[in-house]
Structure 1
Amino acid sequence: MSVLSINQTYSVGHLTPNILLYEPSFEGWLSAVYQVYERKLQYDQSLQLIAEDQYVPSLISSAAHVTTDDEQAQRVLVKLNKLLGRSGMRQILWGFLSEKPNIGTTLFHIVKYAIDHPKRQVLEDLGRLEVLELAQTVKSVHREKHRMEAFVRFEHTTDDIYFARVEPDFNVLPIIGEHFRQRYQDQHWAIYDLARGYGIYYDKSQSTPSHPAELQTITNLDEAVLRNPASIHSVDEQRYQRFWQGYFTNVNIKERKNTRLHRQHMPQRYWKYLSEKQILPNADYLEKKR
């Protein structure tokens, strides 16, 4: 195995890389696509585009690192917009956000197909395995996006910020931010992805009646707060959670409980971040009282 720099000159034969490693960002992947055509590697049937954080070295492969280049990424983006249109680019982006191990290669095959056949509606050709795989992946990402928009629970903090923790299967923060930005323009709020170590923050002080504030990216939050957000709950939040948990306990009808259906509509992996699913200190007492 050899790991090369993309700026090296490759000789014909085994030194030609059949794996391009890109920085784990959409711009990083676009830069890798640019380098494929710049280095005329597009005809290599074994070529793979893999995110650096998902690469597993192999003794029989030759890998090269690609440095993210904003200008190169922009050129590829403009080209793909012309070929695939806005809807097609959304599918490419959502597919990328799935973070599947082979998604970089799958998306490149679709890009190459679109470039080779510019007059075809390539994303409608479900007879091609990579197009079908993308369609199925986008469907899964869309489902996760919808669930995140429904199941996010904000908790009011002592800093007057509504804070929510999430742990989605896919990297959906970039595509759910607008949903919350449009709906909660009158308050400070933040959503933090524990699995990926970053979040989005909305600062209402930077908004105007006609222009909501831009979302900011936040990282490196206090681990103690992430593990125990109750430590920064405001007095009102503590009261609201007790009210809500009490309501949830009292409206439940034991005889009509359908756990299977409940889990189907609200998968259990979301429960640990839902305040109504937390154990109420006097839940047993309330149940006996009923």
Structure 2
Amino acid sequence: MKWRGRRGSRNVIDRRGVSAGRAGGIGGVGLIAVLVIGYFLGIDVTPLLNGGGVPVQSGESRELSAQEQAAGQFVSVVLADTEEVWGQVFPEQLGRDYRPPQLVLFSGRVASGCGGASAATGPFYCPSDRRAYLDTQFFATLQGRLGAKGDFAAAYVVAHEIAHHVQNELGILGQVNEAKAAAGERERNALSVRTELQADCLSGVWAHYAEARLGTVEPGDLDEALNAARQIGDDVLQRSAGRTPMPHTFTHGSAAQRQDWFARGYERGAVEDCDTFAASRP
């Protein structure tokens, strides 16, 4: 992905200048399995870890490393690209203006309009304050532990969280939350899967225009995004955590589903192709 030296967004709030400490606890494969569950199933697993390997803010300021600074610049550029793409797509396809979100970079723990969260929660979007939240250390987990390598795989993660903001702007998240409140566990999980797959599709819409209009997509980038979509499929993650995949517990969709919906969005760049809720099978 062509990102170095390009314009960044002014909507990044960097809270990483607070040092984080780590306490002892679960190690090795056990820690990885628990973190995988937390990152992608939307669960804050901090209590399960008993302090093991989860950063906790100490309140002491610190200098950001060169790697952290580069990660922050990268996120800022990707966020700027989403602003440009959705700023064009909204009036062209939806007949309305796009209001971009803020993106908060944090290290260890963070407070949001949706409550407190830790690094174990993974990247998330909070509709209450219209902000996306990301611990940039997640990129190392994405590449090293989950096998989703490449800068476009990381860009896909950012684009996915911004896609949740797009859903929020369109009133979709509010409707889903209302439906969840009246549903049982299986139905809530099914609604979550359709919500996440739609975000994957909208990420594909972003990738379509990032390539067609911004010219930032390089050979191999789409393969990186599709591989990332596969590696974070619920079935793959449950196997990685030593569990037998149980579709009724999925909250984000299988690897095949996530790849398929991203590809649908990318193919034409049409928001109308991303209606996972109208599909007989997501």
TM bucket (normalised to shorter chain) is under 0.3
Structure scoring higher RCO (CA < 8 A, sep ≥ 6) equals: 2
Higher Rg: 1
In the superposition, the TM-score normalised over structure 1's length comes to 0.22
